Structure 1
Amino acid sequence: MIIGTGIDLVDIPRFERTMSRTPRLMERLFAPTERGLRLPSLAARYAAKEALIKALGGSDGVHWTEMEIGSEESGKPYFRLSGSTADAVEQRGITSLHLTMSHDAGFATAFVVAEGAPL
């Protein structure tokens, strides 16, 4: 059963300007394993985290660095959740998260589907 969906779109040049103006955002928004990625990939991960918050119906109990995006060998992205963020997802009855991300032509986007057991 689908519990929630979320989508987000990021203007990559605007994201780059924001990150340049406020370098501390890197530590606040991204897990250590994500911080070395190129800015378009970071913008897509930012979009994924925003989309997850939308799929959850809000940010209560959610922390940016506890939402890490990894990739399977095939390139398929997935969430690695920890701490209170993992707890918040579990408390909402979510058993599976589906994620897709892309970046092209100056934009990054992500879409999330949150699934749970049928009621």
Structure 2
Amino acid sequence: MIKGIGLDMIDIDRIRRAVTNNPRFVERILTEKEQLLYHKYTGQRQMEFLAGRFAVKEAYAKANGTGLGAHLSFLDIEVLQLKGGRPILLKPDLADENIFLSITHTEYSVAAQVIIEHKEKR
């Protein structure tokens, strides 16, 4: 059964301005493991990566029904990637849920969708 669906879209320039105006922005959004991936990129690709993770975390919070705030923070959510680059949500621990996510971008914006499905008990 579907628990929730979340969708988020963000302009890459908005993320670029946030990084420029607040040097700690990356540390507030990305976990340590995500930061390792982020620092492998440069320029536009680095901003696309950061915007993608930001959008996934916003979309997850919407699908979860909590939003970001008192009960869930950006650092509570971790998105890494499988071999080949497919993104996968590793945090929070989702033992009783399946998570489906997709990230896409253009030159100017990034969109992410997250679907949370309760695992059926057998």
Q: Report the TM-score, using the length of structure 1 for normalisation.
A: 0.83
Kindly tell me: are residues 22 and 96 of structure 1, through their superposed partners in 2, closer, same or farther at Cα, counting changes over 3 Å? same
Q: Which residue of the partner structure matches residue 63 of structure 1? A: 73
Spell out the pairing of 1:83-102 with structure 2 (5 A cutoff).
Answer: 86=93, 95-102=97-104
The SS at the match of 2:72 is coil
- How many Å apart are 1:45 and its aligned residue? 0.6
- CA RMSD in angstroms, aligned pairs only: 1.9
- How many Å apart are 1:112 and its aligned residue? 0.2
Inter-partner Cα distance in structure 2 for 1:34 and 1:77: 11
Inter-partner Cα distance in structure 2 for 1:39 and 1:117: 34
Indicate conservation of the 8 Å contact 2:101/2:113, yes or no: yes
Alignment size in residue pairs:
111
- How many Å apart are 1:62 and its aligned residue? 1.4
- How many Å apart are 1:27 and its aligned residue? 1.2
Inter-partner Cα distance in structure 2 for 1:26 and 1:79: 18
Identity %: 29
Segments of 5+ residues of structure 1 without an aligned counterpart are none
* 1:40-92 per-position Cα deviation (integer Å, ceiling 9, x unaligned): 1110110000000000111352121121111111321111114xxx3xx66xx
Q: Which runs of 4+ in 1 moved over 3 A?
A: none
Indicate conservation of the 8 Å contact 1:101/1:111, yes or no: yes
Q: Which residue of the partner structure matches residue 33 of structure 2? A: 33
Spell out the pairing of 1:1-119 with structure 2 (5 A cutoff).
Answer: 1-36=1-36, 37=38, 38-59=46-67, 60-82=70-92, 86=93, 95-117=97-119
